């Protein structure tokens, strides 16, 4: 059975900011729109009515809607976005080029803002154990990109520079897990 990962809808107030674990609000209409789309795709593909989400509101709200429609909803901390430490919630222009350059120079192991390194995000994504044979995940771009990297390159590998990291999927996009 298959798993499908969906990127959460765009959160309110994220524009121009480094957003990892900051728990931003989500427009209820966007959450309903994504939940309906997930429900249609799951029915078409014969996926179990099981949704795993990050505990952050921008994912959890979609899972809550699916739960109201009879789905099983599992909140899973392993699906959290990357932890950007002191950078989290700040405007990118206020972070400083020197700090960003330090991350780019040691992309795999530098912990931006004192948070998680890319290697740590990859390890957390690899450690996620699905609670069933199939279903859907509503998660964040960082987690989805880590799973994409792992599928393409295998566990124990890590990109050495930012240009090797996959491009972020659009909000509301779906990919295999």
Domain boundaries of the chain, sorted by first residue: 3-176
Q: Find the DSSP H helices in the chain.
A: 28-45, 57-68, 92-95, 97-105, 118-127, 141-153
CB of 158 closer than 8 Å to CB of 119 = yes
52 by DSSP, 3-state: which?
Answer: strand
**Residue-wise pLDDT tens digits, 63-78:** 999 999 999 999 999 9
Taking the whole predicted model, whether its pTM rises above 0.85 is answered as yes
**Residue-wise pLDDT tens digits, 121-172:** 999 999 999 998 999 999 999 999 999 999 999 999 999 999 999 999 999 9
119 by DSSP, 3-state: which?
Answer: helix
Rounded to whole angstroms, how far apart are CA atoms 41 and 68? Answer: 17
CATH topology of domain 3-176: Rossmann fold (3.40.50)
Q: Is the dihedral of CA 63, 68, 72, 74 positive or negative?
A: positive
Taking each helix axis as running N to C, give the angle between helix 28-45 and helix 57-68, from 0 to 180 degrees, rounded to the nearest 10: 60
Is pLDDT at 1 greater than 80 in this prediction? no
7 by DSSP, 3-state: which?
Answer: strand
**Residue-wise pLDDT tens digits, 23-69:** 999 999 999 999 999 999 999 999 999 999 999 999 999 999 999 99
CB of 172 closer than 8 Å to CB of 26 = no
**Residue-wise pLDDT tens digits, 3-29:** 999 999 999 999 999 999 999 999 999
SS3 content of the chain, % helix, strand, coil (to 5): 45, 15, 45
């Amino acid at each position: 059975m298959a798993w499908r990962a969906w990127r959460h809808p765009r959160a309110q107030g994220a524009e121009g900011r480094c957003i990892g674990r900051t728990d931003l609000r989500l427009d209820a209409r966007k959450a309903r729109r994504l939940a309906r789309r997930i429900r249609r795709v799951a029915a078409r593909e014969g996926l179990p009515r099981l949704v795993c989400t990050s505990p952050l509101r921008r994912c959890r709200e979609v899972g809550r809607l699916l739960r109201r429609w009879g789905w099983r909803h599992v909140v899973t901390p392993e699906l959290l976005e990357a932890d950007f430490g002191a950078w989290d919630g700040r405007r990118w222009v206020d972070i400083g080029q020197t700090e960003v350059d330090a991350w780019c120079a040691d992309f795999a192991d530098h912990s931006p803002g004192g948070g998680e390194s890319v290697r740590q995000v990859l390890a957390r994504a690899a450690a996620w154990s699905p609670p069933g044979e199939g279903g859907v995940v509503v998660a964040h771009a960082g987690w989805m990109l880590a799973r994409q990297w792992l599928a393409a390159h295998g566990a124990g590998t890590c990109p050495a520079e930012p240009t090797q990291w996959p491009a972020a999927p659009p909000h509301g996009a779906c990919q295999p897990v």
